[in-house]
Chains A and B, each alone.
Chain A
Amino acid sequence: MKVNKNIVKKQLLGSNEKMGLLPKIFLYGLLIAIGFVYLQPVIYMIVNSLLSPEELTDPTVGWVPRSIYFGNYIKAFDTLDFMKSFGNSLLMSVGPALLQTASAAFVGFGLARFRIKFKPFWFVMIVSTFLIPDQIIKIPRYVMYYSYGLVETMWSTYLPATFGQGLKSAIFILIFYQFFASYPKALDEAAQIDGCNKFQIFYKIALPTASPAIILSIVTSLVLYWNETSQASMFLGEKFATLPVQLGIFADRYSALYGDDKVLNELTRLNESVTLAGTLLSMLPVLVLYLIVQRKFIQSVEMTGIAGE
């Protein structure tokens, strides 16, 4: 009897090697519960974006739509001016992400591999750029760009990224710093004996070892730039309106396209479903990207040790 009890106990509570049944249930329960709170808005969005106007106003329709209706997506597609905005979004996220990664790697290498004077000072400055809020920088930058004719050109986003002042650049510089500080100095010396100059060491030896950091930096920057709206709507204007920017002015665009509330009736008016379809469309490209690179991305997070020691 006693032995049996022990086996049952081991099964339920687990041992050192294996997780028991009870902790497992607890773990899954907690993860699913939190996951539900996480995903609930997204699920709600997907379901409701598929409702036809009749079904939306029908209180008997709850979580499961009776039929799938794609009309909202067609309307949202036109309202967002999807193809053009998508192009803008790509232009305004891929380019800056690559430039930001390149500059962060460059600067991070400089900080990690050379015994330069005033290094702590530069570290403090780099961290301070992270602390300065957006609102402070935004207005003077706008005035500056305005006086040099850079407003509504892509340079207003590309130039800061090139010079290491893009969105949350400090984080990426620190990630690269950490990565480059960790490989042995002997590699550099060997390369130098073989006739490499410092720049060759950077791109022939340091960069190829840094692929996790590069992936992490490109993906994160891309997403940051994709989702950025406050600077984008100010500096780029309508000419380069990205998907999230268009989403911010969705209602105005809708009435400009289909007429305002006086013209439209109950069924053609801008309703929740169309807005949700627009929201979903605007984040679909990054969502797809994430699903593709997800595994690699998480691996790189673990390998770079994003946070430092």
Chain B
Amino acid sequence: MKKKNKEKKPLSFAAREQIAGYAFLSPWIIGFLIFTLYPVLFSIAMSFCAVKITGTGIDLSWKGLEYYKQALTIDPWFNINLGEMVFFIACFTPVIIVLSLIIAVLLNNKFRGRSMFRAIYFLPVIIMSGPVISSLLTKKTFVFSDAIPGVYDFLNSLPDTLASPATYILDNLTLILWFSGIQILIFLAGLQKINPNLYEAASIDGAGTWEKFWKITLPHMKGLAIICTVYTIVDLTNYTESSVNKRITSFIFDGGGKIYSFSAAMSWVVFVCVMLILGIVCLTFFLFGREKKK
């Protein structure tokens, strides 16, 4: 008997650790099951079924892929909106990442008025909300074609595959900058963590600012760049003013007999697209990382 107890004791300590750990995790697990997992499964079910709200509850009757077919082949706008969203993400994300890294590096310098500039650059994080943006963007934002017309003439002379993303980016420069608040924050926090001794050692070895940026700053930012990219893509997907999200929302309540289901099907198509984009991005980062090691 005594021996058994002795054997049990270390085990029970580990078990207690497990119990305590899971006790701390339990609110999240409960919330995850109720507020995330169940809605996700329910949403999948709804996208395959016709939904009818009756007095006692909700009736689902199996419809198969009908709503997906409707979204992809019959609905005149969804494909176009989806294409717009992919174009929007593909154009915005790289520009946001590069710009926010540049701004973070600029802000990381020591100069007078630094805190004021920081306050300005984080402003979008504070005031970003759907209605605010839409009311701001329909008004006069900074228009590049007015300021520097020459740039436009040059861009329009390029082949269309190059010209249309470039003009799109320039037209929406304010929006791009306004989407990069959090990313600047992340990069800035990362820059602060680089050991200053590294820069000092590099300067003693004769490296200039430019070389220091490429050889020290950039390699340190690689991990953060992945995080920022994922964040940006998710953030852009959730942008309430994008045409595809507006289309999805517009069908939630008056779907003409296909309440919820049609929206749910469209949401899942969007989700799959975004996951594909994320997959491609992560793969590219992965491949790039390997090449450098060789």
Residue ranges of A at the interface with B (Cβ–Cβ < 8 Å): 16, 19, 23-24, 27-28, 30-31, 34-42, 44-45, 48, 103, 106-107, 109-111, 113-117, 122, 125-126, 129-141, 143-144, 147, 159-160, 162-165, 173, 198, 202, 220, 223, 226-230, 234, 244-245, 247-248, 250, 272, 275-276, 279, 282-283, 286-287, 290-291, 294-295, 297-298, 301-302, 304-309
* CB atoms of B130 and A35 under 8 A apart: no
Report the Cα distance A309→B278, complex, angstroms. 21
Cβ contact within 8 Å between A109 and B36: no
A247→B131 contact, CB < 8 A: yes
Point out the residue from B18, B130, B189 that lies within 8 Å of A304, measured CB to CB. Answer: B189
Q: B135 touching A137 by the CB < 8 A rule?
A: no
The answer to whether A143 touches B260, judged by C-beta atoms less than 8 angstroms apart, is yes
Given contacts A40-B142, A163-B30, A173-B28, contact A110 B23 (CB under 8 A): yes
Which residues of B are found within 8 Å of A294, using beta-carbon distances? 115, 119, 122
Q: List 6 A-B contacts (CB under 8 A).
A: A39-B120, A41-B139, A41-B140, A115-B17, A163-B35, A307-B186
- Majority SS of interface residues in chain A? helix
Asked if B193 is at the interface of the complex by the 8 Å CB criterion, the answer is: yes
Q: Which residues from chain A contact B57 at a C-beta distance below 8 Å?
A: 147
Residues of A within 8 A of B91 (CB): none
A197 to chain B: closest residue by CB: B20
Report chain A residues within 8 Å CB of B173.
37
Complex Cα–Cα for A49 and B260 (A): 39
Q: What's the nearest-Cβ distance from chain B to residue A302, in Å?
A: 5
C-alpha spacing A163/B33, complex, angstroms: 10
Which residue in chain A gives the minimum CB-CB distance to B264? A139
Interface stretch of the complex, out of B3-11, B152-160, B244-252: B244-252
Q: Is the CB of A247 within 8 A of B174?
A: no
The size of the chain B interface, using a CB distance under 8 A, is 91
Taking CB atoms, residues of chain B closer than 8 Å to A106 are: 24, 27
The 8 Å CB contact of B227, one of A40, A113, A115, A307, is A307
> Distance (Å) between the CB of A306 and the closest chain B CB?
5
Interface centre among B123, B141, B224 (most CB of A within 10 A): B123
Q: How many angstroms between the C-alpha atoms of A303 and B260 in the bound complex?
A: 44
- Contact in complex: A162, B39 (CB < 8 Å): no
Contacts of A283 on B, CB cut-off 8 Å? 126-127, 129, 132
The complex places the Cα of A308 from the Cα of B228 at a distance, in Å, of 12
Complex contact A107–B115 (CB within 8 A): no
Residue contact A136 to B227, C-beta cutoff 8 Å: no
CB distance from B185 to the nearest CB of A (A): 6
Does B101 reach chain A (CB closer than 8 Å)?
no
CB distance from A252 to the nearest CB of B (A): 12
Picked from B35, B120, B227, the residue with its CB within 8 Å of the CB of A160 is B35
Pair B189/A305 contact, Cβ less than 8 Å: yes
Determine which of B30, B106, B267 lies in contact with A135 in the assembled complex, contact meaning CB atoms within 8 Å.
B267
Give complex CA distance A117, B20 in Å. Answer: 12
Interface bits B269-285 vs A (CB < 8 Å: 1, else 0) = 01100110010000000
Q: Does B167 contact A (CB under 8 A)?
A: no
Task: Determine whether the beta carbon of A272 is less than 8 Å from that of B139.
Answer: yes
Question: Do B174 and A134 touch (CB < 8 A)?
Answer: no
The 6 residue pairs across chains A and B that have the minimum distance between CB atoms? A163-B31, A110-B24, A114-B21, A227-B129, A116-B21, A140-B39
Complex interface: chain A residues within 8 A of B74 (CB): none
CA distance A245 to B115 in the complex (A): 32
**B58 / chain A contacts, CB cutoff of 8 Å:** 143, 147
Q: Which single member of B135, B190, B271 contacts A279 (CB below 8 Å)? A: B135
A140 and B129 contact, Cβ closer than 8 Å, known pairs A30-B106, A160-B31, A307-B224: no
Task: Identify which of A31, A130, A173, A297 gathers the most chain B CB atoms within 10 Å of its CB.
Answer: A31
User: Contacts A27-B111, A140-B46 given: A35-B17 contact, CB under 8 Å?
Assistant: no
Q: Which residues of B contact A116 (CB under 8 A)?
A: 17-18, 21-22, 25
**Are B28 and A103 in contact (CB-based, < 8 A)?**
yes
Instruction: Report B260 CB to chain A, min CB distance, Å.
Output: 5
Name the residue of chain B whose CB is nearest to the CB of A111.
B25
With both chains docked as a complex, state the minimum distance between the C-beta of A14 and any C-beta of chain B, in angstroms.
Answer: 9
Which of B35, B111, B249, B274 makes the CB contact (< 8 A) with A24? B111
List the B side residues contacting A305 at CB < 8 Å.
189-190, 192-193
Q: How far is the CB of B219 from chain A (nearest CB, A)?
A: 14
Give the contacting residue for A162; candidates B27, B185, B234, B274; CB below 8 A. B27
Interchain CB contact (< 8 A) of A137 among B39, B178, B189, B230: B39
User: Are the C-beta atoms of B111 and A28 separated by less than 8 Å?
Assistant: yes
Indicate if the CB atoms of B25 and A227 lie closer than 8 Å: no
Q: How far is the CA of A98 from the CA of B123 in the complex (A)?
A: 22
Q: Which residue of B lies closest to A295 (CB)?
A: B115
Asked if B83 lies at the interface with its beta carbon under 8 angstroms from chain A, I say: no
A164 touching B20 in the complex, CB below 8 Å, given contacts A143-B260, A144-B39: no
Q: How far is the CB of B236 from chain A (nearest CB, A)?
A: 10
Considering only residues 212-262 of chain B, those with a C-beta below 8 Å from chain A are 223-224, 227-228, 230, 234, 237-238, 240, 245, 248-249, 252, 260
Contact A27 B120 (CB under 8 A): no
Distance in Å: Cβ of B134 to nearest Cβ of chain A: 8
Shortest CB distance A29–B (Å): 11
B61 at the interface (CB under 8 A from A): no
Whole-angstrom distance from the CB of B23 to the nearest CB of chain A? 7
Say whether B248 contacts A290, CB under 8 Å. Answer: no
Contact between A16 and B203, CB atoms less than 8 A apart: yes
Inter-chain contact B271/A133, CB cutoff 8 Å: yes
- Residue B42, interface by CB 8 Å: yes
